[in-house]
Amino acid sequence: MGSKDETTERRFTPIIGLFLGILAVSTASLFIRFAQVEVPSIVIAAGRLTIATLVLAPFALKKGAGEFKQISRSDWLILALAGSLLGFHFATWITSLEYTSVASSVVLVTTAPLWVALFSPLLLKEKITTRVVIGLVISVCGSFIVGVSSSCEIIDHSLSCRGLGDLLNRNYLLGNILALAGAFFSAGYLMAGRRVRNAVSLPVYTFSVYGIAALILCLMVAISGARISGYSSFSYLWIIVLALIPQVIGHSAFNWALKYLPASYVSIALLGEPIGTVLLAYLFLKEAPTTAEMFGGILILTGIIVSTQLAQIRRNGRAA
């Protein structure tokens, strides 16, 4: 990007960008739930990324017309990887909302910072510390509690569960597994973006990555045989809003911050999403989190904070 663009970008600190990103992505689960009343999850995911790509196209093609030709083959491969991971992230996470509660889904999908910390030695050449191991254990315990919360409850001061067979056959377990898979894909997407953002401008990066993700999701729609027409106007409205606010504004804010901050720090910002999402789910969907979900969520977030060494990341962020 030119010097003028750099000056404009630096007027807004990465921290402000992350804050705006958190506010924007916190609305995603709510819009998805409204659209899922009649639209299949994979169609919602494909619509979200396709619309976002079309919105960004004029900016990318005008601002980075010559930049596309200058992107190296290795950077294109990373862009393709980031886009693929983003596509699978939305395919798994959005589908999870059909089977489990908003609270469980969002808490599990925001374990992405933990996986960033674990895989960074391989992809970002960062060492795993004892704190990461401790945080992993805490988060896994929290994930287990969230996963079984719908089949277990406390009765007369004792824990009562419906049984392992029933637990394994419940839809909520599938939803929680899909949400956790979404966290893995999200972590990979963030790390891939960190590797290439210094070489590719934001308009070109977001257009390329969102476009690749859209192609993958549209292919999934075609394979599944799901229809893309015949839904109510409100359903299409929710998909459009989903594309504009959580995707174009929210995810683009995170991608912008990746140029200036470590992937682990950007991923830490995702910890703010469950707070906003659960609050919105309670207000508009009347989905109050259970005591077990709240306790498990606290353990997960505690493990993430411990493993990613929040204080150290903050120092790195200021240095950037």
Residue pLDDT, tens place only, 117-153: 777 777 666 566 677 678 767 877 876 676 566 555 5
Q: What is the pLDDT of residue 1?
A: 47
Q: At what angle do helices 291-307 and 130-148 cross, to 10 degrees?
A: 160
User: Does any domain span residue 236?
Assistant: yes
pLDDT the model gives residue 44: 96
pLDDT at 274: 66
94, 45 Cβ separation under 8 angstroms: yes
CB 30 within 8 Å of CB 285? yes
In a domain, 95, yes or no: yes
- Taking alpha carbons only, the member of 203, 297, 268, 251 closest to residue 85 is 251
| Residue 235 DSSP symbol | H
What size, in residues, is the chain?
320
pLDDT reported for residue 153: 58
- What confidence score (pLDDT) does residue 216 get? 96
User: What's the mean pLDDT when you consider all of the chain?
Assistant: 79
Query: How confident is the model over 101-107, as a mean pLDDT?
Result: 76
Q: How far is residue 16's CA from residue 300's CA, in Å, rounded to a whole number?
A: 25
Domain span including residue 43: 14-113+171-286
Q: What is the pLDDT of residues 155-181, one digit of tens each?
A: 555 555 554 444 454 677 888 899 999
Residue 221 is predicted with a pLDDT of 96
Q: Does residue 57 register a pLDDT over 90?
A: yes
Of 300 and 151, the one with more pLDDT: 300
pLDDT over 90 for what percent of the chain? 32
Q: How confident is the model at residue 271 (pLDDT cuts 50, 70, 90)?
A: low
SS3 160: strand
Residue type, position 270, single letter? L
pLDDT in the model for residue 127:
65
Q: Residue 299 falls within a domain, yes or no?
A: no
SS3 152: strand
Q: Is 143 part of a structural domain of the chain? A: no
Q: Tell me whether residue 3 is in a domain.
A: no
Average pLDDT of span 287-306: 74
Residue 309 lies in a domain: no
Are 255 and 197 in contact, with CB atoms under 8 Å apart?
A: yes
* Domains of the chain: total: 1
Whether residue 47 is contained in a domain is answered as yes
Contact by Cβ (8 Å): 52, 209: no
CA 245 to chain centre: 14
* Pair 285, 102: CB distance under 8 Å: yes
